[in-house]
Structures are given as C-alpha cells and as structure tokens.
Amino acid sequence: MNNSKSNKTKDQHSLVKSIILHVTPGVLVTLVFLLLKPLLDSTGYPPLLAFLLAILLIDIPFMLGVMLNEGKKLNGRISLKDVVQYREKVSWKTFAIVFIGAFIVLYLIIMLTAPLNSILAGSAFYWLPEWFFFDDAAQYEGYPKNILVIVFTLHLLITGIILPWVEELYFRGYLLPRISRYNGWAPLIGGLLFGFYHSWQLFGWVGVSLLGIGLGFVVWWKRDIRLGISLHIFANAIVRLVLLMNVLAM
C-alpha cells in the first residue's frame, strides 16, 4: 500500500544530514584513490586497482558501519533490523514485470547519456588525467594480460556485485526512507545526491543521477528493496562482465 503514511518512516534525517551521509563516502573514496594511485604505480597494475582498493577499504566499510551503528542504537546489538526499510515483498509476477520494465528504462538512460558523459569528460573535465577515466580502453594498452585479468575480475566482483548490493541497502534501503517526508520528491532528491556521491566520476553525474532516481523510484513505489538490489547488480555486472570478456579475448 503506497499511501503517504505508509511511505514514511518515523526516523527522518534533516536535509543537511542526508546530504552529508550521501556524499561523504564518495568523497573519501576519491581522496583515498588519489593517495593510493601513486603508491601502486610501481607495482605494474593499472590505476583501476587503486580505485577498487579504495572501495574495499573505505566505501563499503563506511556504508556498512553507518547502518550497523544505527542498528546497534535501535536494537542494542549489531543488526540491520529496522535500519534497512522497504522490505515489503511483491509477488514474483510483479517483481518480474517491474524488473524487466525498469531495466529497459535504465538501459536506455545509460545509452542516451553516454554521449553526454563523453562531451563533459572532454570539455568540463578535460583537465583530469587519462587514468581517471576507467572505461577508456587505451589506458590499458601495454599491461600484461594476466594483470588485466586479475584487475577486471576484481572489478566484476567488487563493483559489479558487492558494491551495488551495499549501495542499495545504504542509499535506497537506509537513506531514502529517512527523507520519505518529501513523498514523491524523495527519489528525485536521493537520486541527485547519489550522483554527487560518485565524486570520482562527476563527468557522468547526469547519467548516474538519472539511474539513482530510477532505482529510487522503483524501490519507493513498490517498497521492495530487492528490486533495487537486483537491478543495480544486473546492470553493473553486465558491463563489468563485457569488459572482462574483452580482456580474455585479447
């Protein structure tokens, strides 16, 4: 039931607190990535590995730490009970229909915003070094195949499966319900902030924000966090799997 009361949780965050909790993990990841990159230059691995380590060491622990700490306050023990909201399970038929429809929309968003990302990367963010653009295949030329297989396998596991799972629990399961007083505006606000969370790729802010809005709206609409988790993992994993297959085919 999606009336305004059922869409609201008692524990609401101020807008300032919500902004801080949305943006902070991304800023920390970017800073740690920039610190790790020069340290790993001599190892023979591409800068992408420094980013993946920053995700493992900072991003995921930060998000889980915030949620588990909240769970300890609410439950007196380390738990996600009452922390992650939107756990109403829709029927499998509804799940399948919404999943397919939402995935088509999200895929179109990715395709339509890709040219804009390229334009912004070459204009507003031209000053960034080439290694900041992980999807640029040219930067991986010259690396041994075994090194690239290791890095892109980690890329698939970390940012294709683990990270989107944790992000959905954190952004759509924890943060989104706590700005639910804004009703239908909540997914929009959360999505825009999700774009700023990706501070390591602000040239893709438009596309990432639209994806965040889409995922947020689906979860807010159906109140089923499983939809956000499944869609996010599926979308991320496909892209990372294609990259890995391209490396294996070298």
What are the pLDDT digits (tens) for 142-165? 899 999 999 999 999 999 999 999
Looking at the structure of the chain, the number of domains it has is 1
Q: Buried (b) or exposed (e) across 99-131, using 16+ Cβ within 10 A? A: beebbebbeebbeebeeebeebbeeeeeeeeee
Say if 5 falls within a structural domain.
no
Q: What does the angle CA 133 – CA 23 – CA 38 come to, to the nearest 5 degrees?
A: 40
Global pTM reads: 0.94
Residue 180 Cα distances to 2, 66, 75, 116, angstroms? 12, 19, 22, 31
Q: How far apart are the first and last CA of the chain?
A: 51
What average pLDDT does the chain have?
Answer: 93
Closest CA to 140 of 49, 39, 238: 49
Say if 8 falls within a structural domain.
no
Q: What is the pLDDT of residue 3?
A: 43
User: How does residue 54 score in pLDDT terms, banded at 50, 70 and 90?
Assistant: very high
The angle, 0 to 180 degrees and rounded to 10, between the axes of the packed helices 47-54 and 145-157 is 30
Say if 177 falls within a structural domain.
yes
Say if 109 falls within a structural domain.
yes
Using one digit for the tens of pLDDT, what is the confidence trace for 200-218? 999 999 999 999 999 999 9
pLDDT over threshold 80, residue 8: no
Count of helices and strands (H, E) across the chain: 9, 0
Say if 43 falls within a structural domain.
yes
Residue 80 Cα distances to 67, 73, 103, 166, 230, angstroms? 7, 11, 27, 12, 19
Say if 6 falls within a structural domain.
no
% of the chain residues with pLDDT over 90: 87
Domain of 19?
Answer: 15-248
Say if 4 falls within a structural domain.
no
